[in-house]
Amino acid sequence: MTSNKDGLTPLIEKICTISTIGLFLTGVQICNRIYRMRSTGDISGFPFVATMVNCTLWLLYGYVGNNSTIVIVNFIGASLELIYALFYLQYTPDRNSFMRLIGMAAAFLATVAFYLLYIVSDRATASLHAGVVASFATVIMFGSPLASLKEVIQKQSTESLSLPLCFANLVVPAEWVLYGILINDKFVQVPNFLGAILGLIQVFLFYKYPRQSGLVPKATNLGTI
């Protein structure tokens, strides 16, 4: 007899997959803005590279842990973020610096992949080490908007934030927390719980500091597991 938990897990897997890919696709809006300006302007390309690194680390975790859901979601995420980064490279006035950033990211990922796949002797240890590295990277990525939140609080205005994206940054990590509970995976639960808390704070700021009409928020790009 199938338990309620076993029956719920495939449904949550599908919801997490679809919503996370939707979150990754927010990069299209940012690239469209760059294309219309024919310049990157004040848009940073770092989130593209950071999210690509994060997705690749979780892809490795899913691979060594034999979790096809995590593999599929993060393969798509890493591929999209790479495309966004290459697109950004075409329009940034500082190509050399951005290429160095991409190169450092690629070297880091290659080192981690080599260690997990060829140095570590068993999958259990590889999964543990991959989970620690991926979780650490996710916490850093989720913490990156803190500078923007400080600016929002100082100016008492949410004009620099996007409400739909902030709401997604609350809902999507919360979904992954539930999935982590269902599969009993602390590495999935903990970083996404922290991400959901940050998303809740972002959404609360829209209640505390209502946006003035006519202001267009800057696009931001965040990823999750």
- Residues of the chain where predicted confidence (pLDDT) is lower than 70: 1-6, 143-148, 160, 211-225
The predicted-structure confidence for 138-172, as pLDDT tens digits, reads as follows 888 776 666 667 777 888 877 767 778 888 889 99
Mean pLDDT for all residues in the chain: 87
Q: Which residues contact 127 (CB under 8 A, 6 or more apart)?
A: 61, 64, 65
pLDDT value at residue 156: 82
In the block, which residue shows the tokens 């842990």? 65
Whole-angstrom Cα distance, residue 163 to residue 100?
33
Exposure string over 127-155, b if 16+ CB within 10 A, otherwise e: bbbbbebbbebbeebbebbeebbeebeee
The count of other CB atoms within 10 Å of the CB of residue 114 is 10
Indicate the domain borders of the chain: 4-208
Q: What is the pLDDT of residue 140?
A: 80
In the chain, how many H helices and how many E strands?
9, 0
